[in-house]
Amino acid sequence: MNLRDQWISNKPWEAWQDWTLLLIRVLSGLGMFALHGVRKWNRLFTSEGPIDFADPLFLGPEFTLYIAIFAEVICALLLVFGFRTRFVTLPLLATMLVIIFRVHWADPIADQETPILYLLSYLVLLVWGGGKYSVDHWFAKRTEQ
């Protein structure tokens, strides 16, 4: 196969696809956990009196905080390891959609940039899955044997 045919085919990119999915999973999962989830987790345990948290879905601030912690702590950590990748991206996607369309809708695009970038990375992982370097792939290989 000549060089031109290699670049037209998917072969050179197949090797990079799994590494790219790993990079997206780890960076978006750790970023969400460390920069957003830990802060919410701490707010839950250090709050004195009633919890003061945004309630864009009118479910109550405490319940909304629990949902955010589930997505941004538990799902984000599972995403890092690639465990049930497509499933754990759903709460993360929902959280980003709420942040974009309910919390920051009237704000400038600069305030929406971070949740939009997270949303796009979670969409990629929803479509492509965790890749070869994930717990999902390891489980799939074990069940084939």
Chain centre distance of CA 97: 12
Distance between CA atoms of 26 and 80, rounded to whole angstroms?
5
Q: Is residue 8 assigned to a domain?
A: no
b/e for 98-124, b at 16 or more Cβ within 10 A?
Answer: bbbeeebeeeeeeebebbeebbebbeb
Distance between CA atoms of 135 and 119, rounded to whole angstroms?
22
Q: Which domain holds residue 98?
A: 18-144
Q: Is residue 5 assigned to a domain?
A: no
Q: Is residue 13 assigned to a domain?
A: no
Q: Is residue 108 assigned to a domain?
A: yes
Residues belonging to the chain: 145
Q: Is residue 2 assigned to a domain?
A: no
* Confidence band for 49, pLDDT divided at 50, 70 and 90: low
- The answer to whether 136 touches 129, Cβ cutoff 8 Å, is yes
Residue 47 in this model has a pLDDT that exceeds 80: no
Q: What burial class does residue 76 get, using C-beta atoms within 10 Å of its C-beta: 0-12 exposed, 13-18 middle, 19+ buried?
A: buried
- Kindly report the pTM of this predicted structure: 0.82
Q: Is residue 9 assigned to a domain?
A: no
* Confidence band for 9, pLDDT divided at 50, 70 and 90: low
Question: How many independent structural domains does the chain possess?
Answer: 1
- The answer to whether 76 touches 33, Cβ cutoff 8 Å, is yes
Distance between CA atoms of 22 and 80, rounded to whole angstroms?
8
Q: What pLDDT was estimated at residue 12?
A: 63
Distance between CA atoms of 7 and 1, rounded to whole angstroms?
10
- The answer to whether 24 touches 17, Cβ cutoff 8 Å, is no
What mean pLDDT, rounded, does the chain reach? Answer: 86
Q: Is residue 37 assigned to a domain?
A: yes
